[in-house]
Amino acid sequence: MKDWYKNLVVYQIWPRSFCDGNGDGIGDLEGVLSKLDYIKDLGCNCIWFSPLYPSPNADYGYDIADYKSINPEYGDLELFKKVLNEAHKRDIKVIMDLVVNHTSDEHKWFVESKNPSSPYHDYYFWRDGKQGGKKPPNNWLSCFEGGAWEKDDKNGKYYLHVFAKKQPDLNHDNPRVREEVKDIMRFWLDMGVDGFREDVITFISKKKGLPNGFPIPSACGIEHYMDGPHIHEYLKEYRDVTDEYDCFTLGEAPMMTPTKALKYIDESNKELDLMFHFQHMEADCILVDYIQRKFNLKKMKKAFSSWQEKINGRAWNTLYLENHDHPRIISRYGSEKYREESGKMLANMYMLQQGTPFVYQGQELGMLNTRLDSIDEYADCFVKNNYNVARNKVHLSEKKCWEWAVKSTRDNARTPVQWSDAENAGFTTSTPWFPVNKNYHEINAEKEQANPDSILNHYKKLIKFKKENEVAIYGDYKEHFKSSSVLYVYERNYKGKRLLVINSFSEKNVPFEAPKDFDLEQATPILCNYKNPTLQGNGFMLRPYETRVYYFE
């Protein structure tokens, strides 16, 4: 059975902010081409491209207007093929983002579908409103903005959009829609791509009749489309296509638990190879980054451990701390004050668990959250809407709404990558589409490349270790000191080899005593973030955000 995806370390590119090759201020495929050696040098052997397709950018590519082409801002199909080919030459796989829960409202299917007698009408959820069309067909709310229904003035009907208004949901109950999805998959697989990351794929089957949802403030109705009635059927159909190719698939699944996940990724009956869940990303918020609370290490550990323990031997984990939907991890779970220390610690902490690791652009540099001057300067539709709701509907103070927005916006992860301390961080020669983080003189790739102790060089060592050591890939996982609210310690075991991974989440010194059956003097400390780790004895003081890995060979 194919399982090469277990040995990958995937680098995620959010193209708009990665690297601008033609000087128009927008990241593009020429830029990607110029950085393939950088990705190779980092040790990553797969790239996941966030959407590269033509898009009106209401949700920056997650609103797709044409599934079989490349956004002219980024390049064209010829250039994409060149990138693919050059990546493959470097033994780097390439996966595409497949966003088929919804299209853009500017996709030709949707434009056609407005006409009730068009064969495309049933590609979407068009319904008559209630009370003679005055009210939407049900009470569902959009995850992004207001109600989940929008009325078309011309045909008098409403269409469903679980995300933004410009992202109408596709009707996968229509077999023709499923054929279109398979056709899109084949288009890219035939070209040679190595798989897909499937956006909110667990949302594609809606309950028949679209009944009213339980009245909650946002995403009302979600119980009628999350893991919906035909989800497994449809995913098996899509799986049949990917099974014809040597590729892998990764589903994004909000509100997923390990037990539910096994229905999708259990190796004995797989619909997807891997799954992105969100549980470990909720240690400082409730479900979404916008509803914040104090970082709680125990919550984070519990989430990681439950996935490690519950799917061990039956399915394979994905490991990530950042992507284009979440603020930067050092600013969240680490410490900006101890950026270097906590950046390296967080890296060890997640990557040495069992699973395929993902690194999001700039994470390897220890990039931090940004701060602009007003809500209008932000780009993300999600934060703008959250701000408006909190301010105008819930009537919270301007200061509170603003602080929430700054901290939680997805734009934190979407500032241009900081390549050097040249103007605009070397991202572009003109004005960047979105402001570069002001800290680029201190934090940039060029500077980190030159410094053997940088976060970037730590990632290089770590990725190399992860790929080359079976214990880091296949080892069993066991957590220690579960009740500690400052330490996260776990071991991995494989064929007589052993790792003890020690991570402190404290700004203070914390005493540490090795678990009973470990004699640290028998091991080599590796991947440390402080010079001169104590080499003697089984008890010592851990310094702020210290990380150590003891390798028993």
Q: 487, 512 in Cβ contact below 8 A?
A: yes
The one segment of 4-12, 19-27, 366-374, 380-388 that binds Ca ion by CB under 5 A: 19-27
Q: What does 163 bind: Ca ion, ligand TEU, none (CB cut-off 5 to 8 Å by kind)?
A: ligand TEU
Looking at the Cβ atoms of 275 and 463, the one nearer to ligand TEU is: 275
Q: How far is the CB of 432 from Ca ion (least distance, A)?
A: 10
The yes or no reply on residue 432 touching Ca ion (CB under 5 A) is no
Looking at the Cβ atoms of 104 and 547, the one nearer to ligand TEU is: 104
Please give the Cα distance from 349 to 338 (Å, whole number): 16
40 residue type, one letter: K
**Contacts of residue 354, Cβ cutoff 8 Å, sequence gap at least 6:** 308, 312, 316, 317, 473, 474, 475, 476, 477, 492
| Residue 83 exposed, middle or buried by CB count within 10 Å (0-12, 13-18, 19+) | buried
Active site residue 289: no
Please give the Cα distance from 234 to 238 (Å, whole number): 6
The catalytically annotated residue of 63, 150, 180, 252 is: 252
Residues that bind ligand TEU (CB under 6 A): 59, 62, 99, 143, 163, 199-200, 252, 254, 288-289, 324-325, 382, 410
The neighbour count for residue 1, using CB atoms within 10 Å, is: 4
The yes or no reply on residue 94 touching Ca ion (CB under 5 A) is no
Q: What does 94 bind: Ca ion, ligand TEU, none (CB cut-off 5 to 8 Å by kind)?
A: none
Q: How far is the CB of 548 from ligand TEU (least distance, A)?
A: 32
Q: 459, 448 in Cβ contact below 8 A?
A: no
Q: What does 289 bind: Ca ion, ligand TEU, none (CB cut-off 5 to 8 Å by kind)?
A: ligand TEU
The neighbour count for residue 107, using CB atoms within 10 Å, is: 25
Q: Which of 6, 7, 22, 493 binds Ca ion (CB under 5 A)?
A: 22
Shortest CA distance to 170 belongs to which of 140, 200, 128, 147? 200
Q: How far is the CB of 450 from ligand TEU (least distance, A)?
A: 34
Looking from the CA of 288 toward its CB, the CA atoms found within 13 Å total 16
The one segment of 22-30, 78-86, 355-363, 388-396 that binds Ca ion by CB under 5 A: 22-30
The catalytically annotated residue of 145, 198, 199, 284 is: 199
Active site residue 322: no
The one segment of 20-28, 159-167, 251-259, 451-459 that binds Ca ion by CB under 5 A: 20-28
Q: How far is the CB of 384 from ligand TEU (least distance, A)?
A: 13
Q: Please provide the DSSP assignment of 7-53 as one string.
A: G--EEEE-GGGT--SSSSSS--HHHHHHHHHHHHHHT--EEEEPP-S
**Contacts of residue 142, Cβ cutoff 8 Å, sequence gap at least 6:** 148, 161, 162, 163, 164, 165, 218, 219
Q: What does 22 bind: ligand TEU, Ca ion, none (CB cut-off 5 to 8 Å by kind)?
A: Ca ion
501 residue type, one letter: V
Task: Provide the b/e sequence for 481-504 (b: ≥16 CB within 10 Å).
Answer: beebeebbbbbbebeeebbbbbbb
Q: How far is the CB of 43 from ligand TEU (least distance, A)?
A: 25
Q: What does 20 bind: Ca ion, ligand TEU, none (CB cut-off 5 to 8 Å by kind)?
A: Ca ion
Q: Which of 9, 16, 28, 324 binds Ca ion (CB under 5 A)?
A: 28
Q: How far is the CB of 508 from ligand TEU (least distance, A)?
A: 31
Query: What 3 state SS string does 252-281 have?
Result: ECCCCCHHHHHHHHCCCCCCCCEEECCHHH
Q: What does 325 bind: ligand TEU, Ca ion, none (CB cut-off 5 to 8 Å by kind)?
A: ligand TEU
Looking at the Cβ atoms of 278 and 440, the one nearer to ligand TEU is: 278
Looking at the Cβ atoms of 22 and 335, the one nearer to Ca ion is: 22
Q: What does 24 bind: Ca ion, ligand TEU, none (CB cut-off 5 to 8 Å by kind)?
A: Ca ion
Q: Which residues are catalytic?
A: 199, 252
> Which residues here bind Ca ion, judged by CB under 5 A?
20, 22, 24, 26, 28
